[in-house]
């Protein structure tokens, strides 16, 4: 399938914005409660997304009988992901969290095969094995390092698995509404959920954000919740998996190296190996096969 110029631009911008956000998030939660950081970012991002809808003349209306489905889409695509991945970023290096978070395509392939009737080829199973080995390397390092946080690794993997389910559900949604409309209301729901979690678990830690935390919050509000999520949902809903592959394959790699350059995070051999294995795994699962006529 040929991508339009607009879709290619979205993929490139999405890769840059999401890839660079991993060290940005790490800086933002360094001395600030992570769930509250996420909640503030989302609330400030909602007006940005809403203004875009107004300018593009996209309606806000969702049929009343579709709100239940919309809630479960938000739960699978956003609630679990945003809560668990920000906790993982707090306790892991930004690069390691990026690698683990973007095992999502592997989980998506497995869920597609088990529950949605997709067929996995031998190379796809090889990709799944490569991803599992990459995760095992990172988990091994966390278990053997005295400062390791295996629970944070588990948070990132659960977040990726639930996001994968959400992506499958989004592609099959029956909601007759614009993707921007769906994205807007899922974001509003997520803001409420994250605010509640912040109040329950972090209220004693609440304080004014530092200038660094504010910079990270604004980055997330404008570029992540105002742009990236809407762009991702648009591509994931409209195109086959190969379209998102162009972006997904590079995001964790960009996250790893931007964290190393921007934050001085030390890359161990497990990280290098995991980057390579994840790239191989995602390519194996999502890259399209050539037509028989082209294989010679």
The answer to the question of residue 236 being in a domain is yes
The answer to the question of residue 253 being in a domain is yes
The answer to the question of residue 109 being in a domain is yes
The answer to the question of residue 90 being in a domain is yes
The answer to the question of residue 122 being in a domain is yes
Q: Which residues contact 163 (CB under 8 A, 6 or more apart)?
A: 76, 77, 80, 81, 104, 107
Average of per-residue pLDDT across 99-127: 77
What's this model's pTM, rounded to 2 decimal places? 0.86
Q: What is the largest CA-CA distance in the chain?
A: 66
Residue 294's pLDDT is 43
Residue 104's pLDDT is 82
The answer to the question of residue 10 being in a domain is yes
79 is in which domain, residue-wise?
5-287
The answer to the question of residue 246 being in a domain is yes
Q: How confident is the model at residue 146 (pLDDT cuts 50, 70, 90)?
A: very low
Q: Provide the domain count of the chain.
A: 1
3 by Cβ neighbours in 10 Å (0-12 / 13-18 / 19+) ranks as: middle
Residue 289's pLDDT is 56
Q: What is the percent of the chain where pLDDT is above 90? A: 50
Token look-up 């379209």 returns 243
Residue 292's pLDDT is 39
Q: Say how far residue 229 (Cα) sits from the centre of its chain.
A: 9
Residue 189's pLDDT is 98
Helix (H/G/I), strand (E/B), else coil: 241: helix
CA dist 62 and 147 (Å) reads: 47
Q: Which residues contact 167 (CB under 8 A, 6 or more apart)?
A: 77, 104, 108, 236
């Amino acid at each position: 399938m040929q991508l339009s110029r607009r879709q290619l631009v979205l993929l490139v911008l999405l890769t840059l914005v999401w890839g660079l956000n991993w060290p940005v998030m790490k800086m933002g939660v360094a001395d600030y409660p992570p769930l509250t950081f996420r909640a503030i970012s989302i609330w400030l991002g909602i007006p940005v997304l809403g203004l875009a809808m107004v300018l593009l003349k996209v309606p806000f209306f969702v049929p009343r009988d579709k709100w239940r489905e919309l809630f479960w889409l938000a739960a699978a695509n956003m609630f679990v992901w945003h809560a668990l991945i920000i906790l993982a970023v707090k306790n892991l290096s930004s690069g390691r969290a990026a690698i683990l978070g973007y095992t999502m395509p592997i989980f998506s392939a497995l869920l597609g095969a088990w529950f949605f009737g997709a067929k996995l080829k031998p190379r796809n199973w090889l990709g799944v094995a490569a991803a599992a080995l990459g995760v095992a390397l990172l988990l091994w390092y966390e278990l053997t390092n005295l400062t390791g946080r295996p629970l944070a690794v588990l948070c990132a993997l659960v977040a990726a698995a639930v996001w994968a389910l959400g992506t499958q559900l989004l592609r099959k949604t029956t909601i007759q509404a614009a993707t921007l409309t769906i994205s807007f209301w899922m974001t509003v729901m997520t803001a409420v959920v994250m605010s509640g979690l912040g109040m329950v678990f972090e209220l004693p830690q609440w304080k004014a954000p530092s200038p660094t935390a504010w910079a990270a919050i604004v980055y997330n509000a404008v570029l992540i919740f105002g742009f990236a999520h809407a762009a991702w949902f648009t591509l994931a809903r409209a195109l086959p998996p190969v379209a998102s592959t162009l972006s997904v394959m590079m995001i964790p790699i960009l996250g790893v190296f931007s964290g190393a350059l921007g934050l001085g995070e030390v890359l161990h051999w497990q990280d290098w190996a995991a980057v390579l294995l994840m790239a191989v795994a995602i390519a194996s699962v999502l890259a399209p096969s050539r037509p028989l006529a082209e294989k010679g």
